[in-house]
Structures are given as structure tokens and as C-alpha cells.
Amino acid sequence: MTASLSIRLESGLGAASGTSEDKSSALWRNCYDVSISQNSPVRHASLKTYLDIAQTVLRQVRRPLSPKAILDIAYQMEIVPAQLHGETQHKTLHARLSEDIVRRRYDSAFFRTEPGIFFLREFLTDSSVPESYKQPIVTRRRVRELYGDKVLCVDENDAPTVDTKHSIVPPQMVLASLQKDNSPYANPRDSSGDKVFVWSTAIVRRNDSILCYRIGRYRDQRDSFLLKRSVGFSTMVEPKDRSLFSTDPYGIAESGITAAKIDLDIEETPTLAPPAIRYFLASYESERLSDLVGVVYFNCPESFEPTKRRLAMHDVHWLNLRHPVNDLSDFDPWSQIILKYEFECTPLGSL
């Protein structure tokens, strides 16, 4: 008889959301045993990364798990190397899994079945796995989260002059400011306050309408954005956003389009025309220029239908640009600038 390691977990699927562990205990209180042969090649293996550990455990148990449950099993399997340590390893694993899904999307080995619950894509076509384990949910991004150590910025001394009436800056002026620095990138968490960060925001279009939604706590916790309506899907710009097909030297336009596709769960499809930056808007904090936001339009596929249930977003609807907005104060600061500029300065036929 082959000896085996029997692992018994009390909260099998683990975290859900918010006060996740407490919620998990109520929702997923079902003990189960995982038996792994003592002779299995994964036993005592020294895996180098958190993603390797997650993939190994999920492949063995063949069911979705929370990061905490994954690590509980990994330690009992003795596959966690000494160099991976810390009191909040499950949070680190959660961040690694989230980052991989956001960055690699359908190429990631992982997907979520519930908030905070992960499984492997390789099981999506496995008929022996229950269908309830094979229902991916949309991955949402948190603003200013999952960025690396380098995001696009300009030194405030080199920042372009801003049209104070509309807070609008022509693209060529921002690009000229960026080109003054051979490496215009900085860590957004370690800035000394002398950098103006460059963002990209995509406005999703369909004929004369643009997509509008309400910002929840998960997406953005800045006071001036929280619970406000928005017309943009925004992201900071990283070196990886630049490609041979970029319409600007830094991939600013492409990064905004990618952000919109991730948030709206739109698969990558060829586009007839590459995206281009229409203009930049200037954003201030305490009267200091803090951000320059490149605005780009994304014509969504005709088959796309936004629904709250599908996208886990609030108050999702189309906003017709032929009808002026009644209450601009209900929108976040960037959306207010965009809507004012589009209605006052931009011919509707050029949208």
C-alpha cells in the first residue's frame, strides 16, 4: 500500500470578499481531505515562486481555493522554500495571483471563480471537474494598484503650460516634455513630490454615446472619485505598454484601451485603426499639477452589452452626447473636465 499525506481543511474554499475569512467560514464550511502520495514528485519540491506553489497545489486538489488555503496545503506538502517567508504570506500570494490575471488576462494560468478564490484554466475543459468550479468572474482593477516600480512621469519643472480655462493640454506638448528625460519613469509610491504622473483613460464609445458607470470603493478610494460617476477607464502607464505598433513613443493610448478591455471583459481583437491620444487633461492636488491624463476613444464591439451583473460595476449605462449632462457635480473630476470639453469645444461629428 502506498503511503499518503492526508490534509484536512476546515474552510475549503477560503476567502470571499471584504471581511473575507469570516464570510468564508459561513459560506464554505465543508471539511475535505486531500490525499497526496508520499512518493509524489511534488512532495518536498523546492518551488521558487508563489505562482509555482499555487499552480502545484491547485493541480493536486483539483478545486478552487483561497490563497490562505493554498498555503495551508503547501506547508503540509513541504513545498514552500525557506526564502519565502512572512506573517502575511497569503496576502502576498493573493497579490501575485491578482497581478498575473490582470497582466496576462486569458494567457494567465489562473482565474477567479469568486472574489478571492482561484483555480487553474487548464481545468476549464476537464469534464471530470464540476461545472460550478469552471465559472470565471470578471477581474476588476484597483486604481494605483498592481503597478511596478516604474510608471511614466514628467519632472514638474518640465511640465507643459496648461490651458487653465479647460485644463486641456495638446498631446504634442506633453510628449515634448517627456522627451526631455531619457528615462521618464519613477516609482509612484516613492515620489518626492516633484513628478507629474502620466495616465491614460479610455472612453468607450458606441455611435453618439459613451459608457458611464459609478465608481465603487473597490475601484478607487480617492475622496474626490469615490462613488462618483465616470466616463473613463484609467491606468498609469508602464514601460511594458510600449510596443512596435504604438502610436506614441510610450504606449499611452494602448494602455488606456487595455484597461478598458480588462474592466469590461472584452477579448483582444484586431482593430482597424490604432488608437491615438485625443488630448491630455490636467489634474491638480492642492493647486499643484499632479497628473496628466491622456484621453483616447475606444469603439467597443457591437456584440458588447454592459450589464451590472456581468461586470460587477454600478449604474452602468450609455450616456448620449447629444444631450448635455444635467449634473456635472455627480461625476469625478476627470470626467467633469472631459464632458465640459467635449460639449463646449469639440464638434460632435468628430467624436
Q: Are residues 293 and 331 located together in one domain of the fold?
A: yes
Cβ distance 131 to 302 under 8 Å?
no
- Coil/strand/helix, residue 230: strand
* Among 103, 133, 163, residue at a domain's last position: 133
| Residue 265 domain boundaries | 151-350
Encode burial over 139-154: b for 16+ CB neighbours within 10 A, e otherwise. Answer: bbbebbebbeebbbbb
Is residue 215 a part of any domain in this protein? yes
In a domain, 145, yes or no: no
CA 153 – CA 155 distance, rounded (Å): 7
The Cα 336–Cα 189 span in angstroms is 27
Burial of 70 (0-12, 13-18, 19+ CB in 10 A): buried
Which amino acid is located at 12 in the chain?
Answer: G
Residue 26 to residue 263: CA distance in whole angstroms: 29
H helices then E strands: how many in the chain? 8, 14
Which residues of the chain, if any, have pLDDT below 70?
A: 1-48, 138-148, 163-166, 191, 216-223, 267-273, 307-313, 345-351
Same domain, 101 and 155: no
Do residues 229 and 110 both lie within one domain? no
| pTM across the whole model | 0.63
**Do 43 and 76 touch, CB atoms closer than 8 A?**
no
Question: What per-residue confidence (pLDDT) applies to 12?
Answer: 40
Residue 125 lies in a domain: yes
Domain boundary among 133, 168, 193: 133
Side-chain half-sphere CA neighbours of 255 within 13 A:
24
Among 73, 70, 77, smallest CA distance to 96 is for 70
In a domain, 264, yes or no: yes
Same domain flag for 117 and 184? no
- The grid cell for 174 is 506633453
CATH number at residue 335: 3.90.79.10
The residue with cell 451583473 is 309
Structural domains in the chain (count): 2
How many residues are recorded in the chain? 351
The answer as to whether 25 is a domain residue is yes
- Determine the pLDDT at residue 18: 38
Residue 222 has a pLDDT of 65
Query: Does residue 287 come out as left (phi exceeding 0), alpha (psi in the -120 to 50 range) or beta?
Result: left
pLDDT one-digit tens code per residue, 76-130: 988 888 777 777 888 889 888 887 887 777 789 999 888 789 999 999 999 999 9
On whether residue 139 sits in a domain, the answer given is no
pLDDT confidence of residue 48: 67
Q: Is residue 144 part of a domain?
A: no
For residue 328 the three cell numbers come to 456635472
Q: Are residues 125 and 221 in the same domain?
A: no
The 10s digit of each residue's pLDDT in 62-77 is 999 999 999 999 999 8
Q: d(Cα 208, Cα 237) in Å, to the nearest integer?
A: 28
In the 8-state DSSP scheme, what is residue 213? E
Calculate helix-pair angle for 50-61, 67-77, nearest 10 degrees: 90
Do 18 and 85 belong together in one domain?
Answer: yes
At 268 the pLDDT is: 60
Cell 517567508 sits on residue: 85
Last residue of a domain, one of 107, 133, 159: 133
- 297, 256: one domain: yes
One domain, residues 99 and 176: no
Check residue 129 and give its pLDDT.
93
Among candidate residues 194, 184, 195, the one with its CA nearest the CA of residue 152: 184
Cα torsion through 323, 215, 327, 292, rounded to 10: -80
Same domain, 76 and 218: no
143 located within any domain: no
